[in-house]
Amino acid sequence: MSTDTPRFGQALQSDFDTTKLALTLGLFFLVGVTFFPIYILLTLPFKSRSKIFSAPLALPETLDFSRFVTAWNVGGFSQYFMNSLIVVSVSLAAIIVIGALGAFALVQFDFRAERFTLLFLISGLMIPTQVLIIPLYSMMNQLGLLNSFYSLFLVYIAFAMPFSVFLIRQFFLGIPDSYSEAARLDGCSEFQVFWKIYLPLAAPALAALAIYQFVFLWNEFLYVLTFITQDAHRTLPAGLLAFQGRRANEWGLLFAGVIISVLPTVIFLAIFQRQFIRGVTMGMKGE
């Protein structure tokens, strides 16, 4: 009996080591599959056209950033970048302010249509944005808003409202009512309760919302391609498509433009990833 026990323990240890080795190899494989396209994307702008096709997996011989400069200055990416910055900044600010006010009203004010209003907002999450492209184009055309940022502002804010109000409302529900009651006893108005109590406490949720919407707005392609036809008003996704049409054979410049387009979202997520995780996991209390 005493001789079998060590053998049994050794067998368990051997099986555990084999499983651990298999999991480690599997994780390395998944990491390699995930980062392989990123490696290709990062190296191609530094290679000549012949090297791109003859040795796509090889490391670049030199780090020449001239293609990035050309894409930024000559390819129009400086203008596309500023357009994206304007559209995303204005839309994001409006989404956060209007969404927070709407969530505060649903949590603090009692009215007969409260439940219906909430269900009406949530139903907006069930509508695919693609099915509204034709009626929205007709509406923007009648309003004279095509080829202007206002068309993008209106569409982006409207589509973001259901999720934004729902997320912030769920966080507001976790704030004790005693906070608002104490503020009202001290003479605070409803707006002061919102501004001084609820908004600071909801900072994690607002940060998570801002990150989520930033990534979506920065990469949105369908509506900007439909509403904006003038090159001077294009954002980065539509500008990249136009740049590809003009420089179809210049692969180095094209991939440099791709990196310029995706780099802001990568940096934004890298800086605020902790706030995003905290905002999603904190205060999500249902009714």
The DSSP result for 225-238, as a single string, is HHH--SGGG--HHH
- Nearest in space to 80 (alpha carbons), one of 268, 262, 267: 262
pLDDT greater than 90 at residue 34: no
pLDDT greater than 80 at residue 241: yes
pLDDT, mean of residues 142-163? 93
Place of tokens 């009512």: 177
Q: What is the pLDDT of residue 218?
A: 93
pLDDT greater than 50 at residue 265: yes
Q: What is the pLDDT of residue 40?
A: 81
pLDDT, mean of residues 171-182? 86
pTM for the predicted model, two decimal places: 0.81
Q: What is the pLDDT of residue 284?
A: 47
The token pair that represents 287 in the structure block: 């009714």
pLDDT, mean of residues 201-212? 87
- Mean per-residue pLDDT of the chain: 83
